[in-house]
Chain A
Amino acid sequence: MLKYVGKRIMYMILVFLIMSVVLFFLYNLIPGDPARAELEPLRNKLTAEEYQYRYEQARQRLGLDDPLPVRYAKWMSGVLRGDFGMSSVYKLPVNQVIINPMKVTVFINIFSIIITLAITIPLGIFTAVKKNSVFDKSVQVLTIVGYSIPVFIIALLFIYLFAVRLGWFPVSGLNTPNFSGTPWEEFKDMMYHLALPLGVLVVGSLGGLTRYVRAAMIDALSMDYIRTARAKGLKERVVIFSHAWRNALLPVITLIISWLMSVFAGSLVVERMFNLKGMGDFYISALTNQDYNVALAIQLFYIILALLGNLLSDLSYGIVDPRVRVNK
């Protein structure tokens, strides 16, 4: 087992290094001159000589005059020490500016994932057990509708209905500006602001996951061992949860683990619509503002997450299904 994990980690390091080279060189192929962009506001003020002097200084400070491989080596040695460079927009170290969006995203996603799993797993199991019932058919129709509607449409509908028409929730934001109260009151205020975005995220995810769980459960329930379990006279609850669900979990686990890893990934549409400064919005802003050090750092982080997610998925198979455990 340890040998297997060790091999996988070595493989992950190799993939990470290859991806870092590819991404670094791709970003540096994009036309643009950060030194020129920095001096743009001063262009009409400075004389030609002063402009040239400052331009050269800026290029030197930003390390733009080095050949690309040298720049990569410098950047990677920084990355390995936890230094992702400076954000060209915030003029601060990347790992400093990334903290707040990450906190927002993790906070939102934890609740979104918990609520979604709390609804979809029981719902998927129930609809599989009650296959072809009126309830099952109704859920099928609703989930296909929810699955088909783009998230931004759901967001606009929610805003119009619950914020503008009914006035139950605020249109956007993370908290009431200038709000001050006990930590519990602040938490309640934040949840009040997050009710709509969480609702949108949950509704947007319900369809897919419910149908996935339902399909896995239907497969499991049609197996011979379920018939055997029932023939043995086991209670239906035990048949469903101990026998069917345990076996249905294998395909679902991959999905759930990727979901758990996505706790760090922001939802661009929801964050933009509700003015939440999470990772999705932050990443797109970094790309549009050509803040490539930030964009690179985020992408590398997601690569690590994806690689870790794969490893965890594979290991979790073994936990759920002893047949696929690696013993050597």
Chain B
Amino acid sequence: MKKKSIVLLLVFTLLLSMLAGCSTTEEPVTPEEPVVEEPVTGGKPTSPTGQLTIGNTTELSGDWVPYWQNNAADYDIYNFITALSTVDITFGGEYVVNDAAVEKYETTLNEDGSKTYTWTIKDGLVYDDGTPITAKDYVASVLLWSSSVVGEMGASNDYGYYLKGWKDYSSGATKEFAGVNLIDDKTFSVTIAAENIPYFFELTLASIAPTKLSFWTDETVEVKDDGNGAYLSENFTKENFEERINLARREVPRPSTGPYVLKSYDEAAKTAVLEVNPNFPGDYTGQKPLIQTVIYKKVNQETAFDELSTGSVDLISGTVGGDEINAGLDLVEKGGFSYTAYPRSGYGKIMFQCDHGPTQFVEVRQAIAHLLDRNDFAKAFTGGFGSVVNGPYGESMWFYQETKAELNQKLNQYPYSLEAAKELLDQAGFNLDANGNPYESGIRYKRMDDGTLMPLILEWASTEQNAVSDLLVIKLQENPDLAAAGIKINQTVMTFTELLNYLYRDATQGAKYGVPTFHMFNLATNYNPVYDLSTTYTTDPDMFAQGYNTNFILDEELDRLAKEMVKVDPEDRETFKQKFVEFTVRWNYLLPDLPLYSNIYHDFYNDKLKDYEINSLIEISKAILYSYVTE
């Protein structure tokens, strides 16, 4: 009897699985499929309708605020549910006052050099649940996310970093945040610290979005202002609210000010479902969402296009690999699918450290540039879906676009040339052989001031399982012309963490890391619309020692130009562009990095998605806001 029961149980389990698997030949019903308010037959709807599933290869972590982590997928969700900031961004990556949230604003230049933005918000702003949004909610953002309470919990409490009094407030030295004032229910002000003025992207420093404080704490915590700056009531302590804040980070549903509300999150499937926020007043142009439901789903790189072709997802964003793009283009060719291509705002690069060994000489860096056919490299690595840049910019940046003609004239393209490389190396003094005789063949040497001979051997640190490194071995390290020029490159493969130790020369991780060892690293860099490289090439000794300037390039002019570029009045676009050109020309001459390739991103989607436009300067939430679907 017992045996029969076991056999029956096994057979039942087997059948159950097969039945559940095989009998569902039709798509599972989704009872909560949004009700189509009006039939859409290909035209643009006037109210939200339909559903869009976005496939992304980055996994959601479920922490919906960007203060404890910087996961790109979580940040996408954050942007879907967070808006009504005082400042918005255009499709071109420029910052503008958000007319949907701001009724009026005024700026005052104070005697101490600081600048105050006084914002008056519009009437009728509400959260998705109908709770009114007042000036207190805006002030709460700065106070909460700059507070020492969240700082001690491991959050980056830098929300009001550029505002007056941040340092004292964020460290808990003062109760009040001197640079933030609550004026009345509709009005508040923020004061940008004098040292940050002028700043070309100044508007971003005064950009504040509302936060529902009661969600993060409880009804007892209040925003107050006695005239010395706004502050949170004294019961806001780590002891009282650490547990609540940690819970709130992941809570769903949660208050939304953005075009969508986070309806559900499936931790096991890593899938988030967003429904339209009926109370969203629109972005700075008044644009409201036209897609009722957005689903954000994790996909694998290997099967992403199978998901697209079978309808499991409707959109795959940011495809970069040549094989993947070709798979997507095959789908487009078959019909029923489209794509949008746009340049990356950044590039893959060889990064030189410029204070030791042969790469301390600009001619050596330039010679390397001449010995690598970068067009060929970019084509091989990106499968033909990439380009080469000659400076620290992305091709989609408005200031690059507006100065492109001038830059093309002024920037050295470093075309492939063995002769040019040899000439540069001779100029740099690498014109001797190992015995100190005039160079004829083998590795070049240079006689240093102390009489020793420096060999032209470059130590290269690269990470394991890195396709760029593999291609660099073929195109550069094993290039016969490199040896013909008298250069030798030694590659050392290591983990990314170890590479960072060498990059930052972090002696705290081991004495060997503190010693300058590697001359070049292959890495990548991306730029955001706030193009600020003022600390990247710093010559300040303290910052230099702490690894801010990972190129270790001590060039006063480059440092000055990087700082001057952003120390420009926000209205003065022409000066900014002029400084950008000057900086880029200097950079192009010094070559602290050698850009290798800049990808052309491809977003593939099925034909039900319409009006989808995106570039690398805006978030996907913005692109979806202007799109719609036809069923």
Bound together, the chains give a CA A19 to CA B448 distance in angstroms of 53
* A273 with B20, Cβ < 8 A, contacts A100-B268, A174-B269, A178-B51 known: no
How far, in Å, is B125 (CB) from chain A's closest CB? 28
B303 an interface residue at 8 Å Cβ cutoff?
Answer: yes
Cα distance, A179 to B509, chains bound together (Å): 49
* Interfacial residues of chain B within 469-528, with CB under 8 A of chain A in the complex: 495, 497-498, 500-501, 504, 506, 508-510, 513
CB under 8 Å from chain A, chain B span 1-42: 3, 10-11, 13-14, 16-18, 20-22, 24-25, 27-33
Across the two chains, which residue of chain A brings its CB closest to B536? A44
Q: Are A198 and B266 in contact (CB under 8 A)?
A: no
B residues 244-297 in Cβ contact with A at 8 Å:
246, 250, 263-264, 266-271, 273, 293, 295, 297
Interface string of A184-214 (1 = CB under 8 A from B): 0101110110111011000000000000000
Name the A residues within 8 Å of B536 (CB-CB): 44
1/0 per position for B56-93, CB-CB distance to A under 8 A? 00010111000011100000000000000000000000
Annotate B148-180 by CB proximity to A: 1 below 8 A, 0 otherwise: 000110101010010000010001000000000
Instruction: Give the interface size class of chain A.
Output: 35 or more
Classify chain B: how many residues form its interface, as a range: 35 or more
A residues within 8 A CB of B30? 176, 178-180
Residues in A neighbouring B69, C-beta threshold 8 A: 89-91
Across the interface, which residues of B come within 8 angstroms of A275, CB to CB? 269-270, 298-300
CA of A273 to CA of B302, assembled, Å: 8
Whether A48 and B158, one on each chain, are in contact in the complex, defined by CB atoms closer than 8 angstroms, is no
| A183 CB → nearest B CB, Å | 13
- State the total of A-B contacts with C-beta under 8 angstroms: 187
Q: B266 to A177, Cβ gap below 8 A?
A: yes
Bitwise, A36-54 to B at CB < 8 A (1) or not (0) is: 1010011111111111110
B508 / chain A contacts, CB cutoff of 8 Å: 33
A46 and B543 CA atoms in complex are apart in Å by 10
Contacts of B266 in A (CB 8 A): 174-175, 177
Q: Offer 21 A-B interface pairs, CB within 8 angstroms, sorted by A.
A: A31-B501, A41-B156, A44-B535, A45-B161, A48-B542, A53-B171, A91-B63, A114-B13, A118-B11, A159-B306, A163-B310, A164-B306, A171-B312, A174-B266, A180-B30, A188-B28, A191-B21, A192-B20, A192-B21, A272-B300, A277-B270
Q: Could you list 16 further interchain pairs (A-B, Cβ under 8 angstroms) beyond the known A103-B268, A115-B14, A119-B14?
A: A32-B509, A44-B535, A48-B546, A90-B62, A101-B268, A104-B268, A114-B10, A114-B13, A118-B11, A159-B303, A168-B25, A175-B269, A178-B33, A178-B51, A185-B28, A189-B24
| B interface residue numbers (CB < 8 A to A) | 3, 10-11, 13-14, 16-18, 20-22, 24-25, 27-33, 51, 53, 59, 61-63, 68-70, 151-152, 154, 156, 158, 161, 167, 171, 246, 250, 263-264, 266-271, 273, 293, 295, 297-300, 302-303, 306-307, 309-310, 312, 495, 497-498, 500-501, 504, 506, 508-510, 513, 532, 535-536, 540, 542-543, 545-548
